[in-house]
Amino acid sequence: MSLTIAEKIISNHLVSGKMAPGEEIAIKIDQTLTQDATGTLSYLQFEAMGIPRVKTGLSVSYVDHNMLQTGFENADDHRFLQTMAARYGVYFSRPGNGICHQVHLERFGVPGKTLLGSDSHTPTAGGLGMLAIGAGGLDVAVAMGGGPFYLTMPRIVKIQLSGHLPPWVAAKDVILEVLRRLTVKGGVGKILEYGGSGVLHLTVPERATIANMGAETGATTSIFPSDEVTLAFLKAQGREDCWIPLAADEGAAYDEVVEIDLDGLEPLVALPYSPDRVVPVREAAGVRVDQVIIGSCTNSSYLDLMKTAQILKGKTVHPDVSLAIAPGSRQVLLMLAKNGALADLVAAGARILEAGCGPCIGMGQAPPSGGVSLRTINRNFQGRCGTQDAEVYLVSVETAAASALAGVLTDPRRLGEPPAVTMPERFELDDRMVLPPGKNGEKVTILRGPNIKPLPVAEPLPPRLEGKILLKVGDNITTDHIMPAGSKILPLRSNIPALARFAFAQVDPAFAERAKAAGGGFVVAGENYGQGSSREHAALVPMYLGVKAVLARSFARIHRANLINFGILPLVFCSPEDYDRLDQEDELSIEALADCLVKDGVIDVLNKTKQFTFQVAAGLTPRQAQVIKCGGLLNYTRQQYIGETK
């Protein structure tokens, strides 16, 4: 039987289930990664399971999100994570070592392996030929404990690339073209597998950029072949021993094929406020620019920043533009410093940030009020940048650098000959900022700051759910809407009672108080509810506030899984029109739940306020139904692996 790349890795890691689209499968996880915005909670959950040591082949704890230390909270979390890593057998990437996805690509990723990360952009490692999937922190905690990862077997879409990228056209433009065609929900339930002759002309960092932003389509993951290009990258990283060739079999069957001729692409831009509002740069050119940000896990590689440095060399940033650059890793920063490119960037007027996520998640560098910010990041949701009325455009580093010089959104093709940047034969290798776990973890004292509060746990599912509709929202509500990020809120990620004050703050600032006063209730939503980040806080905080179920037209994959993990029922309208019949403050009642949770079960919901009944479906697998009945994955895992009962 001919297999795709994804099918080969899944079949080699299959623990249970059949590789048929729509069926629940469980796969063994080889590696995990966490970052500090999600990791603190993930390790609290791992600790609560009572497992003495991680059981994966490799687990890495990165500090890259909550880097802005305006108070003690973030520094306390970093110290907590370092001691937890030493205690439980996890590698610890210290603050300043770089963004988890960039560092993992450089130093830890292995073709053909599985990687589960508590960050939605974990698929970045698909650029190396890994099956890398973003998930909630609780799923990652279970994987660290040796449990499999459960998911619905995705359909596999082949993105067939042909030709070569023209001058000034970048890998970022490739994924923007994919987003233009598929939209932010067109990848849901799918794996995007890249192939064709065009792949041969893309470096691993370019492949990683494309795999990274595949998350914005809602795809489960994206993956590239492992070939001679992959080998050259790993050899330059001193890791050629872990390389294996990996390609789809001749005649492998795909559920869908999308063909992209690289020769026909041009510089593209995603307009505010969605990554799929994509148009050619030439059509939007001339927009005044206040700020340019180059960096994030999407575009902060050595290749990206060397191109930036060459474009800016000998020139000066426009006087009306603030240009900030965040290298993706300490390795990148060291190499720029040693070859003189860092001096070129500074001389041009760039503000150099530390190697971390920073502006991408609103952790510093917020634009001015009403400002326009061009960014090489992956998301431009309204308010995510830290300024509610700012407009964020997503572009390649080439377009960003050209625009920083001109002061307006500029097609980089106007600059003449493009910079000639090649991959180095050898990267700067220095892993001193990665701390390996010690052998005597049981002797390590866990250091907990006062901001680290006990982990809330859901109650088992009652026979009846009753309450008011606390909030009704529209389509494409993101996890940023549900649980915002930013410098004021991210430091509270390990303090759920304090964090809960900000639930749905961008949509309805009074939500938290209303939910508390009502003793909980329901949320009603439109299509693609929960798109964006993997942050499980967007499920945990509503659970803490008493949200019992979310009724939506459809859900984003990771968020739906997170809702189940925290004991909140994700219910889909059987008739989408019923969404229009509901209003905030309507009182709902749902009875006889236990027998109607699995795939074909239909659940009757009584609108007590308007006196009509409508139907929803949970569509759970038998395992997911048990998780819900137990009150979430933590309770379920305790029963399965530890033998405890709540």
Give SS3 for 551: strand
537 labelled catalytic? no
Give SS3 for 19: coil
**Has residue 646 got a pLDDT over 70?**
no
Residues 6+ apart with CB under 8 A from 517: none
| Stretch 46-50: mean pLDDT | 89
CA dist 30 and 45 (Å) reads 19
Give SS3 for 117: strand
Token pair of 425 as six digits = 């034969």
Q: Where are the beta strands (DSSP E) in 24-154?
A: 24-27, 31-35, 58-62, 91-93, 114-117, 131-134, 149-152
> Each residue of 559-595: pLDDT tens digit?
999 999 999 999 999 999 999 999 999 999 998 777 7
CA dist 616 and 316 (Å) reads 59
Among candidate residues 104, 379, 413, 481, the one labeled active-site is 379
Q: In terms of Cα–Cα distance, which of 579, 538, 530, 535 is closest to 556?
A: 530
**Has residue 418 got a pLDDT over 80?**
yes
Number of helical H runs and strand E runs in the chain:
21, 27
State the pLDDT at residue 358.
86
560 labelled catalytic? no
Residues 465-642: name the CATH superfamily.
Aconitase, domain 4 (3.20.19.10)
> Each residue of 222-264: pLDDT tens digit?
999 999 999 999 999 999 999 999 999 999 999 999 999 999 9
Among candidate residues 13, 36, 61, 64, the one labeled active-site is 64
535 labelled catalytic? yes
Among candidate residues 13, 65, 277, 559, the one labeled active-site is 65
The answer to whether 384 and 480 are in contact (CB under 8 A) is: yes
Among candidate residues 78, 104, 207, 535, the one labeled active-site is 535
> Each residue of 422-442: pLDDT tens digit?
999 999 999 999 999 988 888
Which residue(s) pair with 258 in the sheet? Answer: 159
What are residue 76's phi and psi, to 5 degrees? -65, -40
CA dist 122 and 115 (Å) reads 8
Amino acid at 460: P
pTM higher than 0.85: yes
Q: In terms of Cα–Cα distance, which of 225, 244, 221 is closest to 234?
A: 244
The percent of residues in the chain predicted with pLDDT above 70, rounded, is 99
- Of the candidate ranges 269-273, 572-576, 594-598, 614-618, the one whose mean pLDDT is the lowest: 594-598
The answer to whether 395 and 269 are in contact (CB under 8 A) is: yes
CA dist 374 and 269 (Å) reads 9
State the pLDDT at residue 644.
41
Tracing tokens 């990206």 back to the chain, one arrives at: 304
Give SS3 for 180: helix
Ranges of H-type helices in 502-576: 511-518, 537-544, 557-565
**Has residue 284 got a pLDDT over 90?**
yes
Among candidate residues 42, 322, 533, 554, the one labeled active-site is 533
Whole-angstrom CA distances from 326 to 172, 494, 610 are 17, 26, 54
107 labelled catalytic? no
The answer to whether 455 and 498 are in contact (CB under 8 A) is: no
318 labelled catalytic? no
**Has residue 642 got a pLDDT over 60?**
no
Four-residue CA torsion sign, 35, 40, 46, 50 = positive
Cβ neighbours, 10 Å, residue 283: 11
> Each residue of 352-411: pLDDT tens digit?
999 999 888 888 899 999 999 999 999 998 888 889 999 999 999 999 999 999 999 999
The answer to whether 258 and 389 are in contact (CB under 8 A) is: no
CA dist 169 and 149 (Å) reads 37
Amino acid at 27: I
Q: Where are the beta strands (DSSP E) in 36-182?
A: 58-62, 91-93, 114-117, 131-134, 149-152, 155-162
Work out whether strand 603-607 and strand 149-152 pair parallel, antiparallel, or are unpaired.
unpaired
Q: In terms of Cα–Cα distance, which of 455, 483, 459 is closest to 632?
A: 459
Q: Return the CATH architecture of domain 5-264.
A: 2-Layer Sandwich (3.30)
The answer to whether 490 and 358 are in contact (CB under 8 A) is: no
Work out whether strand 149-152 and strand 91-93 pair parallel, antiparallel, or are unpaired.
unpaired
**Has residue 191 got a pLDDT over 90?**
yes
What are residue 312's phi and psi, to 5 degrees? -85, -15
CA dist 134 and 139 (Å) reads 10
Give span(s): CATH 3.20.19.10, the chain: 465-642
State the pLDDT at residue 641.
60
Confidence bin at 53 (pLDDT 50/70/90): very high
Class for the domain spanning 268-413: alpha beta
**Has residue 99 got a pLDDT over 70?**
yes
Among candidate residues 30, 36, 76, 119, the one labeled active-site is 119
119 labelled catalytic? yes
State the pLDDT at residue 645.
34
> Each residue of 316-343: pLDDT tens digit?
999 999 999 999 999 999 999 999 999 9
The answer to whether 101 and 207 are in contact (CB under 8 A) is: no
**Has residue 152 got a pLDDT over 60?**
yes
The percent of residues in the chain predicted with pLDDT above 90, rounded, is 85
CA dist 610 and 88 (Å) reads 54
Q: In terms of Cα–Cα distance, which of 640, 594, 586, 583 is closest to 618?
A: 594
Give span(s): CATH 3.30.499.10, the chain: 5-264, 268-413
